[in-house]
Structure 1
Amino acid sequence: MLYKFTNMTQEQAEDISFNWHYDGEYSFYDMEADKEDLEEFLDPEQRGNSTFAVTKENELVAFFSVSKIADGTLEIGLGMRPDLTGQGCGLEFLKEGLNFVEFRYKPNKITLSVATFNQRAIKVYRKVGFTDVKTFMQNTNGSTFEFLKMQYEC
């Protein structure tokens, strides 16, 4: 395993929240872009034991969060450090993240939601076996955006 998943510390949450800034349209994913998301990410109680810092060779490279929905279904959220995006690292990271979640939680299904403009991520999700479920509109970052809900059968 190249990536190590550990419970996120406050220092790591603050690093991601205030120092990770994405270029162009991907700035949509900056933690500071949505006040509610930022507050949730920075609150240790809300992060609980379900938000993980992902390190590679002891360097923080990503985060991975897990929420239980129902009936053995988990929802995940994830992000890579901005300087690592678009370099072909996503597939390996996602595969290891799914292995981690399947081993730790033993879900039947894993879902995620992604902004539809993010074709780069959608391509990676489909490559590992996620399928499209539906599109929906969501209020976030001060406006309304289209998202794609995707699902992975374990």
Structure 2
Amino acid sequence: MTYTFQPMTQSEAEYIASQWHYEGEYAFYDISADEEDLEEFLDPKQREDKSFSVYKNGSVIGFFSFNQAEPNVVDIGLGLHPDLTGKGEGQLFLEQGIEYVKASFSPQKLTLSVATFNERAIKVYERVGFKKVQTFMQDTNGSTFEFVKMEREVGE
């Protein structure tokens, strides 16, 4: 495995929340952009057993959260270091996360949600087998935004 997954520490959560800032419209994904998201991300009890820092060559390059949405279904949340987005790292990062969740949780299906404007991420998700299943509106970052829910069978 190219990446190493470790349970996220408080210092890693604080580093990601305070130091990772995305450019342009992708600033939407800054952890600090939404007060509720920030509070949840920084709360060790809410991260417990669900959030993992991802290391490559000794540096934190991303994170995953895995939530048991329903029996045999795991919902994935993820973030890649802002310096690595748009540079072809996303697909391998996601594939390694999928392998990790399969080995750790043994789900039958994976789900994730992404803002519909984020076509770059949607293309990566589709390349690894996720399919769009529904769009929905969600309150976040002080407004309401359209998201798409995607899913993938684990055996794919």
Fold match by TM threshold 0.5: yes
Q: 2:146 & 2:70 partners in 1: Cα distance? A: 24
- Aligned pairs, number: 154
Runs of at least 4 residues off by over 3 Å: none
Aligned to 1:84: 84
* 1:68-110 alpha-carbon deviations (Å, 9 max, x no partner): 0112001010000000000000000000000000011000100
CA RMSD of aligned residues (A): 0.5
Q: For structure 1, list consecutive stretches of 5 or more residues without a partner in the other structure.
A: none
Q: Secondary structure at the match of 1:69?
A: strand
Amino acid of the residue matched to residue 143 of structure 1? S
Q: 2:140 & 2:70 partners in 1: Cα distance? A: 24
Amino acid of the residue matched to residue 94 of structure 2? L
Q: How does 1:85-104 map to 2 (within 5 A)?
A: 85-104=85-104
Aligned to 2:128: 128
Q: 1:110 & 1:21 partners in 2: Cα distance? A: 27
1:58 deviates by 1.1
Q: How does 1:1-154 map to 2 (within 5 A)?
A: 1-154=1-154
1:135 deviates by 0.3
Question: Normalised by the size of structure 1, how large is the TM-score?
Answer: 0.99
Question: Normalised by the size of structure 2, how large is the TM-score?
Answer: 0.98
Tell me the percent identity: 56
* 1:97-150 alpha-carbon deviations (Å, 9 max, x no partner): 000000110001000000000000000000000001000000000000000000
Q: Secondary structure at the match of 1:122?
A: helix
Q: Secondary structure at the match of 2:67?
A: strand
Q: 2:93 & 2:38 partners in 1: Cα distance? A: 23
